[in-house]
Amino acid sequence: MSIHFLQYTNLWISGLIGSSSMALSSNNSEAPVSEFFLICFPNYQTWQHWLSLPLSLLFLLAMGANATLLITIRMEASLHEPMYYLLSLLSLLDIVLCLTVIPKVLAIFWFDNKSISFSACFLQMFIMNSFLTMESCTFMVMAYDRYVAICKPLQYPSIITDQFVARAAIFIISRNTFFSLPVPILSARLKYCAQNIVKNCICTNLSVSKLSCDDITFNKLYQLVAGWTLLGSDLILIVLSYSFIFSVVLRIKAEGAVAKALSTCGSHFILILFFSTVLLVLVITNLARERIPPDVPILLNILHHLIPPALNPIVYGVRTKEIKQGIQNLLRRL
């Protein structure tokens, strides 16, 4: 399904980009840029050889761990519950993000394959922007799931149903696709005056759009407002959910009940903290670009698309007894 989605999206964005490129060429005698060249770590290109091995291992770990988790949830009937369906959605998002970013980075490191076509660059930009916010939105829905499980346990079966998960998945995909799609479209409609050297390993909006001869103020403003609106609203709702959870847990008098209640949301809380921390560090380093080497934000951006996908299934697999048991049953069948 994800492959068909990517192919469909590629054709869709290619059509949009193609129409805008034709419009630009009709108003301009200059030949339009047909491809970009990604220059990883402009100041320390020797890093590439050292980084390729750990990045490859992390990539294989992320793919293997998420694939194992998806197969386990699919094969084990005891895991056919809303909470695990949401976890499956998170794993799918992680897989797509990894496949969108890391293979191209490794191709640059290993084969010096720095070129990327105009449409592929903006497709990568769209997927990175939309799927990152989809992950944040999925964490928000999972926080609501844990809130209902702890604060309204008797109503949980009637509130968190398979239909709820389906509606939540539609909301996650449609909301973030709608608000993220203008980012690559706005960048693709800019006029690129023969400048096609991107000082980054991936096609981020700012790295690409600053090559344009046009004013990019609106592009930067839209991404800033849309990004902080989506991520900020998710974070606020997550904080509210956990505030209610902790207030209920602290009122529990029964011995061992607090530990049991917190264990039901411990894995999710750890992943949210890690996701938010990595994202916060990435934002801070981008804001402080003038004070730190430019290659540091590039490296952190790559790791942000790789480390959370590698750790998410491991944290859940280690801390969740049902998933651990399901993996053991799966291994016995092999």
Bridge-based pairing state of the strands 35-38 and 115-117 = antiparallel
d(CA 91, CA 94): 5
**Helices first, then strands: H and E counts in the chain:** 14, 3
For strands 197-198 and 35-38, give the pairing: parallel
Whether 299 and 49 have beta carbons less than 8 Å apart is answered as no
User: How many other C-beta atoms can be found within 10 angstroms of the C-beta atom of residue 200?
Assistant: 21
Q: For 41-59, how does the pLDDT look when each residue is reduced to its tens digit (9 = 90+)? A: 877 777 778 889 999 999 9
List pLDDT tens digits, range 84-98. Answer: 999 999 999 999 999
Is the pLDDT assigned to residue 258 strictly greater than 90? no
Mean pLDDT taken over the chain: 85
CA distances to 157, 160, 321 from 151, in Å: 13, 13, 22
> How far is Cα 64 from Cα 95, in angstroms, rounded to an integer?
10
- Calculate mean pLDDT across residues 271-296: 78
Q: Which of 150, 151, 105, 144 is CA-nearest to residue 124?
A: 105
Nearest to 97 by CA among 26, 186, 11, 6: 6
How does pLDDT run across 97-123, given as a tens digit for each residue?
999 999 999 999 999 899 999 999 999
Three-state secondary-structure class, residue 198: strand
Cβ neighbors of 119 (< 8 A, separation 6 or more) are: 10, 13, 14, 17, 18
Which pLDDT score, from 0 to 100, does residue 80 have? 95
Percentage above 90 pLDDT, the chain:
57
Grouping H, G, I as helix, E, B as strand and the rest as coil, residue 246 is: helix
**270 has pLDDT over 50:** yes
Closest to 65 in 3D by CA, of 325, 318, 332: 318
Beta strands in the chain (DSSP E): 35-38, 115-117, 197-198
pLDDT digits (tens, 9 = 90+) for 112-152: 899 999 999 999 999 999 999 999 999 999 999 999 998 99
Half-sphere exposure of 30 (CA within 13 A, CB side): 10
d(CA 202, CA 304): 12
pTM of the predicted structure, to 2 decimals: 0.86
